[in-house]
Chain A
Amino acid sequence: MKRWGMVIDLKKCTGCQTCTLACKVYHGLGPGVTRCRVVEQEVGGFPAVERLLISLRCMHCNEPECMKACPTGATKKRSDGIITVDQDECMGCRYCALVCPYQARTFLGIEKRYFSGDDNIWESLRYGEHQVGTVEKCDFCHKRIDEGIAKGLEPGKDPAATPLCVVACIGKALYFGDLNDPGSSVSGLIRERKGFTLKQELNTEPSVYYLPRRR
């Protein structure tokens, strides 16, 4: 059984927000709605202060708090570990956004546009996929993965079957692959570079790993 996961190299991330932008454009996310973002943080104290750039998104936890909290069953975990929100089932209570320790969910409260006037063809197509009054989150571009696999492509290796943020990253800081396969690139990186997950104390077992800047 596959378990898709992502590895983010903190040494390579330049904080350019290309992943954020690629995600927003590809999924047609309006103002105020993000599925992935890069945050800047200061770590340590003088004289050993470091500035970290951390790309954040849904961690696709193995033990997802959001799925347990969701009253309608709209939040689902697929057999490959990807956590999805079925917008036809979400009632917009936002409990999932509250319980997520990674603040990875956004509530689409009202319909908003970046520009006034009529939508262009792309906007009409993509904005129409989102339902006002429901919750949004990263889904690892599972449609790309599913369509890619159907065509015989391998997620993580073939760009057409890989989440768009990974493909778009200019610093090659993002990696995608099967965490359950010890031979995959992501498993190798986690093993060799001592990859870690965020908020380990909560036992949510995230599928997004980070590689430290220093060994």
Chain B
Amino acid sequence: MIKIERQFIFQQEWTGKGERGIRDFLLIPAIFFGAICPGLFISSLVSNYVPGYWAALALNFGGYGITHLLFLGKMERFWRAVLNVRTSWISRGFVFNAMFSLFGLLYALAETAPLPVLSDPAVKTLLKLMSAVSAVLFAAYPGFMLSIVKAIPFWRSLLEPVLFFLQGVMGGLALQLLLMSFMPMPGYAGDIVIKANFVILQVVLLLFMSALIIKAMHGGAEKTSVAFLTTGNFSRVFLGGALVTGLVAPLFILTAGILLPLDFDAYSYIYYLAMIAELAGIYAGKYSVLRAGAYSPLR
């Protein structure tokens, strides 16, 4: 049989570039907030940091919801996204987001205002469980959404959902630490968040590098995607932004902070800088992964 080879081309639909200007770009912040909102909620659940719940819900509404709506070609039809839960990961994500918004709001209400209906310990536990489960699913769904795209081999990996979830939690922890500088939590020290972040940072870096090496070892489109990320102009975004700024530099700071050890209160600004770098790195990482979607050739 003859083989029809074709030069690799990169996906153009979800690159943040398009004829509609800013509206096409809004998918990138939507995916970014779609990761860190549930991440912030989960990290706040662990420490019962009430301002974190509300911040997660507010960012979910504005940063994820509104931006996603504006990205759609026909935003007034957004509700139709629920109609194909059986096979579509976008539909499932829509449901996970709705569940997260509902249960998250109810749990935040239960923790903030002692309403009679929500103050029952059994109801509260149920709400906590449901909001946690929906937050985990919501954080991981974009990874599943990308990993099932047969046409783009670079995305086809079981690591995608795991990385999306862990990066979400990592960003959530970073955001929680930044929030705690404005709204401190009595009896809860920032160094606990730092230590949790330190562990997840290492796991993410390990998975990140493993995924890249595995993809680079494959031929064809996957190798092309890795080359796009690591050589040429775009490597500044990926290597400089996602890898060095977002993972290596914060890990270096946190390692120094833990090993030396640096007093959290005295060096808090260095930690805050590391957290901002982490968030910027997550943003660059999401953008890079989307941009690197190379199609395998027709054959």
Inside 8 A of B18's CB, which chain A residues have their CB? 107, 109
The answer on a CB contact under 8 Å between B74 and A202 is no
- Determine whether A73 belongs to the interface, using a CB cutoff of 8 Å to chain B: yes
In-complex Cβ contact of B80 among A52, A89, A212 (8 A)? A89
Find the A residue at minimum CB distance from B90: A71
Determine whether the beta carbon of B299 is less than 8 Å from that of A107.
Answer: no
Which residues 165-181 of A sit at the B interface, judged by CB distance below 8 A? none
Q: Using Cβ atoms and an 8 Å threshold, which residues of chain B touch A214?
A: 2
B14 nearest CB across to chain A (Å): 6
Instruction: Decide if B6 touches A93 in the complex (CB within 8 Å).
Output: no
Are B20 and A212 neighbours in the complex by a CB distance under 8 Å?
no
Judge whether B46 is part of the interface by a CB distance below 8 angstroms: no
Contacts of A73 in B (CB 8 A): 80, 83-84
The reply to whether A72 and B73 form a contact with Cβ atoms under 8 Å apart is: no
B295 at the interface (CB under 8 A from A): yes
Our count of residue pairs bridging A and B at CB distance below 8 angstroms stands at 127
Contact status A97-B13, CB under 8 Å: yes
Let me know if B9 is at the binding interface, CB within 8 A.
yes
Contact A90-B295, Cβ < 8 Å, known A71-B84, A71-B90, A194-B1: no
The prevalent SS among residues of B at the interface is loop
Contact indicator per residue, chain B 67-89, by CB within 8 Å of chain A (1) or not (0): 00001111101101111100111
A residues less than 8 Å from B296 (CB atoms): 101, 199
User: Taking each of A41, A56, A90, A98, which has the highest tally of chain B beta carbons within 10 Å of its own beta carbon?
Assistant: A98
B263 within 8 A of A: no
Asked if A43 and B90 sit within 8 Å, CB to CB, the answer is no
> Does B256 belong to the interface (CB within 8 Å)?
no
- A70 and B149 CA atoms in complex are apart in Å by 12
Q: Give the interface SS of chain A, mostly helix, strand, loop or mixed.
A: loop
Chain B contacts for A99, CB-based, 8 A: 148-151
**Chain B's nearest CB lies how many Å from the CB of A13?**
12
A residues contacting the other copy or chain, number (CB 8 A): 50
Which of the listed residues A54, A69, A108 has the most CB atoms from chain B within 10 Å of its own CB?
A69
- Asked if B73 and A132 sit within 8 Å, CB to CB, the answer is yes
| CB pair A71 B88 closer than 8 Å | yes
Q: Which of A29-71 contact B (CB under 8 A)?
A: 32, 39, 41-43, 52, 54, 56, 65, 67-71
Is A92 interfacial (CB-CB < 8 Å)?
A: yes
| Closest chain A residue, CB of each to CB of B76 | A91
Is A92 within 8 A of B151, CB to CB?
no
B5 at the interface (CB under 8 A from A): yes
B151 touches A71 (CB 8 A): no
Of the residues A93, A97, A131, A198, contact of B299 by C-beta under 8 Å: A198
Kindly list the 5 A-B residue pairs having the minimum CB-CB distance in the complex, ordered from nearest. Answer: A92-B73, A133-B73, A72-B80, A71-B90, A101-B151
